[in-house]
């Protein structure tokens, strides 16, 4: 028996010794010469994130209920589904994006840190934002960006608008009917809990240190502030953006739940 720690097996992958008794004659007793593990695997308990094997004695209905609370996640690059099935999964995802009701544009051209950009890319893709605007498309190849985005850049439209071009871009989008919304704590800011997003919303996020420059603040149609209860009066830009992206999505979902939708 191979020692668990030497095999680098995580606890979710442990297999109880009893599972081998039906198809092997190798003894599993501690006194056996084949048994070299310092700790009997049968004495080890799975962690909080593991689902214990209940054995073959449960009925089908009971078995299904036992597994009802198991996490179900699909990681595109690590999925074991055959390639033909994966293509169907991704085609279905693309079809959903094509039917997306979201017309939210998230502008992150002022953000410098690749971790914040990668996290925003992931958040935008998850909630079906229409476009993510970045200062440079070269950021997408950054390893820190990709670590946080988990391939979201492959499914989300990205547009490059450099910081020096933002003024013209915002004016163009305003002419197309978009409401330009900034995330800043200002005297005229609206409470996020009370604000109702227009269908065509453009969310402008500021730089990690300096926020939104004064010349771009003048282009804002609305400034939204996230209500806070703590002593610290600021949030990470990715967190701030994620809260507004979700609130926009939530309001759109509520609209679609209405009979007239």
pLDDT of residue 228: 87
Whether the per-residue pLDDT at 34 is higher than 80: the answer is no
Residues 214 and 245 in one domain: yes
Same domain assignment for residues 44 and 109: no
Measure the CA–CA gap between 105 and 173, rounded to whole angstroms: 10
Q: Do 180 and 94 lie in a common domain?
A: yes
Work out the end-to-end distance of the chain between its first and last CA atoms, rounded to an integer number of angstroms. Answer: 61
Residue 19 has which token pair? 């599972």
Neighbours of 136 (CB within 10 A): 13
Average pLDDT over residues 7-19: 58
Domain boundary among 27, 44, 72: 72
Question: What's the confidence (pLDDT) of residue 59?
Answer: 57
Q: How far apart, in Å, are the Cα atoms of 223 and each of 79, 189, 215, 219, 244?
A: 41, 5, 14, 10, 12
Is 104 found in the same domain as 61? Answer: no
Looking at the structure of the chain, the number of domains it has is: 2
Cα distance between residue 55 and residue 203, in whole Å: 52
* pLDDT tens sequence across 81-107: 455 554 555 555 555 554 556 899 999
Whether 77 maps to a domain, the answer reads no
144 and 28 within one domain: no
Q: What is the model's pLDDT at position 180? A: 98
Cα–Cα distance measured from residue 89 to residue 10, given in angstroms and rounded to the nearest whole number: 28
Of residues 68 and 215, which shows the higher confidence score? Answer: 215
Residue 169 has a CB neighbour count (10 Å cut-off) of 20
pLDDT interval class at 27 (50, 70, 90): low
Q: What range defines the domain where residue 195 resides?
A: 83-257
Q: Let me know if residue 132 belongs to a domain.
A: yes
Domain membership of residue 181 (yes or no) is yes
- Which of 33, 50, 72 is the last residue in one of the domains? 72
Asked if 50 and 124 sit in the same domain, the reply is: no
Query: What pLDDT is stored for residue 79 in this prediction?
Result: 47
Cβ-contact 208, 113 below 8 angstroms: yes
pLDDT in tens, 234-249: 899 999 999 999 999 9
Residues 154 and 44 in one domain: no
Claim to verify: residue 193 and residue 97 sit in the same structural domain: yes
pLDDT over 60 (residue 23): no
Confidence check: pLDDT of 19 > 80:
no
Q: Are residues 57 and 95 in the same domain?
A: no
Is there a domain that residue 164 lies in? yes
Bridge partner list, 179: 201
Structure-token pair, residue 20: 């081998």
Confidence (pLDDT) at 190: 92
49 with 115, same domain: the answer is no
Give the percent of the chain with pLDDT over 90.
Answer: 52
Q: State residue 4's pLDDT score.
A: 46
pLDDT for res 68: 55
Three-state DSSP string of 89-130 = HHHHHHHHHHCCCCCCEEECCCCCCHHHHHHHHHHHHHCCCC
Residue 78 lies in a domain: no
Instruction: Quick: pLDDT tens for 105-163.
Output: 999 999 999 999 999 999 999 999 999 999 999 999 999 999 999 999 999 999 999 99
| DSSP secondary structure letter of residue 134 | E
pLDDT at 257: 75
* pLDDT band at residue 47 under the 50/70/90 scheme: low
pLDDT at 239: 96
Q: Reduce the DSSP state of residue 191 to 3 states and report it.
A: strand
Confidence (pLDDT) at 184 = 81
pLDDT digits (tens, 9 = 90+) for 165-212: 999 999 999 999 999 999 887 878 899 999 999 999 999 999 999 999
Phi-psi map region of 208: left, alpha, beta (phi>0 left; psi -120 to 50 alpha): alpha
For residues 124 and 238, the answer to whether their CB atoms sit within 8 Å is: no
Selection from 124, 204, 109, 123 nearest residue 159 by Cα:
109
| Rounded Cα–Cα distance for residues 250 and 252 (Å) | 5
Select from 24, 42, 72 the last residue of a domain.
72
Q: What is the pLDDT of residue 6?
A: 47
| b/e burial code for range 83-99 (CB count within 10 A of at least 16 → b) | eeeeeeeeeeeeeeeee
Residues 93 and 212 in one domain: yes
Q: Which of 128, 108, 130 is nearest to 118 (CA)?
A: 108
What CATH number is associated with residue 92? 3.40.1280.10
What is the model's pLDDT at position 115?
A: 96
Residues 66, 180 within the same domain: no
**pTM for the model:** 0.67
Residues 6 or more apart from 10 whose CB is under 8 A from it? none
Confidence of residue 29 (pLDDT cuts 50, 70, 90): low
């Amino acid at each position: 028996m191979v020692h668990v720690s030497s095999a680098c097996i995580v606890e979710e992958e442990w297999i109880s010794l009893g599972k081998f008794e039906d198809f092997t004659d190798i003894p599993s007793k501690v006194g056996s010469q084949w048994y070299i593990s310092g700790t009997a695997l049968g004495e080890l308990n799975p962690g909080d994130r593991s689902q214990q094997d209940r054995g073959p004695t449960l009925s089908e209905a009971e078995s299904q209920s036992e597994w009802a609370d198991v996490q179900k996640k699909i990681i595109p690059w690590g999925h074991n589904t055959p390639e033909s099935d994966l293509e169907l999964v991704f085609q279905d995802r693309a079809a959903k994006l094509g039917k997306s009701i979201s017309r939210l544009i998230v502008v992150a051209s002022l953000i410098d840190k690749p971790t914040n950009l990668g996290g925003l890319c992931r958040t935008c893709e998850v909630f079906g934002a229409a476009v993510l605007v970045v200062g440079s498309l070269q950021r997408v190849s950054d390893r820190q960006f990709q670590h946080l985005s988990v391939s979201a850049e492959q499914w989300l439209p990205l547009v490059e608008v450099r910081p020096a071009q933002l003024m013209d871009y915002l004016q163009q989008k305003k002419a197309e009917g978009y409401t330009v919304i900034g995330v800043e704590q200002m005297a005229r800011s609206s409470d996020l809990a009370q604000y109702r997003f227009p269908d065509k919303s453009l969310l402008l996020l500021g730089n990690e240190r300096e926020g939104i420059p004064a010349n771009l603040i003048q282009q804002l149609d609305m400034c939204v502030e996230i209500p806070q209860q703590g002593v610290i009066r600021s949030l990470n830009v990715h967190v701030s953006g994620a809260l507004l992206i979700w609130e926009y999505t939530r309001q759109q979902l509520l609209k679609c739940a209405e009979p007239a939708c």
